[in-house]
Amino acid sequence: MNFQKICVIGLGYIGLPTASTFAAHGINVLGVDVSQHIIDTLNKGEIHIHEPGLHDEVKKAIQSGNFRAATKPEEADAFIIAVPTPFQENKFGEYNGITYKLADMRAVISAAESIIPFLRKGNLVVLESTSPPRTTADLVAPILARTGLVAGRDFHLAYSPERVLPGQIMRELIENARVIGGITPESAQAGSDLYATFVKGQIIKTDATTAEMVKLMENTYRDVNIAIANEFSRLADKFGVDVWEAISIANLHPRVKILNPGPGVGGHCISVDPWFFVESAPELTPLIYHSRKVNDAQPHFVVDTVKRALGSLGGKKIAALGLAYKPDVDDLRESPANEIVHLLQDEGAQVKAWEPFKPNANLAGISMSPTLDDAIKEADALLLLVNHTEFKQLNPSEIAAKTKARILVDTVNGWNDNAWKNAGFAVFRLGDNKSKIENPKP
């Protein structure tokens, strides 16, 4: 299939990079968003989100005349839907005594509806938003059928999940393998023709529901495996073992690859996507459900560890280092560190937080320090919550000279025990009770 003009609906973290990349590869792109503010910003050549390389790409696309933004779609050869699929705020599902979160599909529904007046025979529609299995076939296809055209017969319909890492989006969009699931083989082929415009990685064609499952399976696989690592950290704590040592030994086995325990699972992918499976089939997903529960409860285990390190939390001053949801990103949304700060404060601790990637973050109920020195100066304990490179490089004796604290709690195995002990700190690591409970030493 040949594509001269496409509409990309939803100009967020995925839609905007996708739209500008198509434009850079010679396709005439209309970007569509419900927010007039976003449209005005883009048409001026500015952008509303932070992603390395994106601003230049958008500026070039606008200047070349290949990219425009508007609040309504127009006729085009292809339509790409890249809108958010968050959780419903106030509604939950229930099955056999368990409560689970429900996807809010309203943005997908209204994006599909917005295409109706413009859909023509021979067009291609692609859904990119992460969605519960069968969304393309059972939700999007019936909406588009209101045109009188039938998906797979009169127009092509496909699902193609984004699988890019924030911070690397512009490169990964082009280089990563791309899955295209068609409602028919011809739809998959049409989708493949479209993305071949810029994708250099392998393009894999399959059916739409397989493609939907692939996306959810990738992130669920990771969530379940982090959950077992987190459960191992609690077992190690109980039995007087250092979980990090145990994992590194277990991982010498050629068929074992245990992930890292930590303060919990954050971000808007891994902690979200497994719920789409639970919602779709709660009777089939006890493992996925319980893994989510284990990871969501990990902040409580961190608080128990801090409590043990300090004796009690009431009135204690704690420097919380790192609020991002993972190392070396400035993204604080859904971060377990945020919850940990609140739990510590609920128990009477006074917490000052330092986040080098967002020192001025405005987080409800959290007191941010303008500098690392300010956060640690009067602290009774240092609490390492994210493995930022900057934290790994800190010099223990220099830090010892700047803080009253002589206790530190490391939840991510970011610091070298001995170096910090030599600088005068009592070191507590998450899932490491080895030196606290006497085990026979070799």
323 counts as binding ligand SAJ under rule CB under 6 A? no
269 counts as binding ligand SAJ under rule CB under 6 A? yes
131 counts as binding ligand SAJ under rule CB under 6 A? no
Decide if 39 contacts 69 (C-beta within 8 A): yes
Sole residue written with tokens 């689970």: 100
164 counts as binding ligand SAJ under rule CB under 6 A? yes
Closest to 84 measured CA to CA, from 12, 17, 164: 12
For 359, 369, 414, the CA distances from 352, given in Å and listed in that order, are 11, 6, 20
Residue 59 or 222 with smaller CB distance to ligand SAJ: 222
Do the strands 98-103 and 124-127 form a parallel or antiparallel pair, or are they unpaired? unpaired
Binding segment toward ligand SAJ, per CB under 6 A, in 183-191, 217-225, 286-294, 359-367:
217-225
Decide if 239 contacts 260 (C-beta within 8 A): no
Strand partners, 5: 28
Sole residue written with tokens 């070349």: 64
260 counts as binding ligand SAJ under rule CB under 6 A? yes
- Whether 326 is catalytic is no
Residue 50 or 120 with smaller CB distance to ligand SAJ: 50
**Distance of alpha carbon 119 from alpha carbon 9, whole angstroms:** 14
Using CB under 6 A, count the residues that bind ligand SAJ: 17
Task: Give, for 375, the enclosing helix (H) or strand (E).
Answer: helix 372-376
Residue 182 or 267 with smaller CB distance to ligand SAJ: 267
156 counts as binding ligand SAJ under rule CB under 6 A? no
277 counts as binding ligand SAJ under rule CB under 6 A? no
Binding segment toward ligand SAJ, per CB under 6 A, in 181-189, 214-222, 284-292, 343-351:
214-222
**Distance of alpha carbon 382 from alpha carbon 392, whole angstroms:** 14
- Strand locations in 12-129, DSSP E? 28-32, 67-70, 78-81, 87-95, 98-103, 124-127
Q: Give the footprint of ligand SAJ on residues 218-247 (CB under 6 A).
A: 218-219, 222, 226
297 counts as binding ligand SAJ under rule CB under 6 A? no
357 counts as binding ligand SAJ under rule CB under 6 A? no
Q: Give least dist CB 114 to ligand SAJ, A.
A: 24
326 counts as binding ligand SAJ under rule CB under 6 A? yes
3-class SS at 353? strand
Minimal CB distance residue for ligand SAJ? 269
388 counts as binding ligand SAJ under rule CB under 6 A? no
Binding segment toward ligand SAJ, per CB under 6 A, in 23-31, 93-101, 163-171, 415-423:
163-171
Give me the helix-helix angle, 15-24 and 54-64, nearest 10°: 50
154 counts as binding ligand SAJ under rule CB under 6 A? no
49 counts as binding ligand SAJ under rule CB under 6 A? no
Q: Give least dist CB 425 to ligand SAJ, A.
A: 24
Q: Give least dist CB 415 to ligand SAJ, A.
A: 16
* 8-state DSSP, 146: G
- Whether 7 is catalytic is no
Binding segment toward ligand SAJ, per CB under 6 A, in 41-49, 69-77, 102-110, 266-274:
266-274
Selected from 266, 299, 322, 431, the binder of ligand SAJ by CB under 6 A is 266
Residue 15 or 396 with smaller CB distance to ligand SAJ: 15
Decide if 366 contacts 349 (C-beta within 8 A): no
Catalytic residue among 7, 101, 205, 269: 269
Residue 88 or 260 with smaller CB distance to ligand SAJ: 260
Catalytic residue among 7, 101, 205, 215: 215
- Residue 307 CB neighbour total at 10 angstroms: 16
Binding segment toward ligand SAJ, per CB under 6 A, in 24-32, 86-94, 98-106, 161-169:
161-169
Closest to 101 measured CA to CA, from 285, 224, 261: 285
Q: Give least dist CB 181 to ligand SAJ, A.
A: 16
Torsion sign across C-alpha atoms 45, 48, 49, 50: positive
For 7, 79, 394, the CA distances from 113, given in Å and listed in that order, are 14, 12, 53
- Encode burial over 191-204: b for 16+ CB neighbours within 10 A, e otherwise: bbbbbeebbeeebe
Interface with ligand SAJ (CB under 6 A): 163-165, 218-219, 222, 226, 259-260, 262, 265-267, 269-270, 325-326
Catalytic site positions: 215, 269
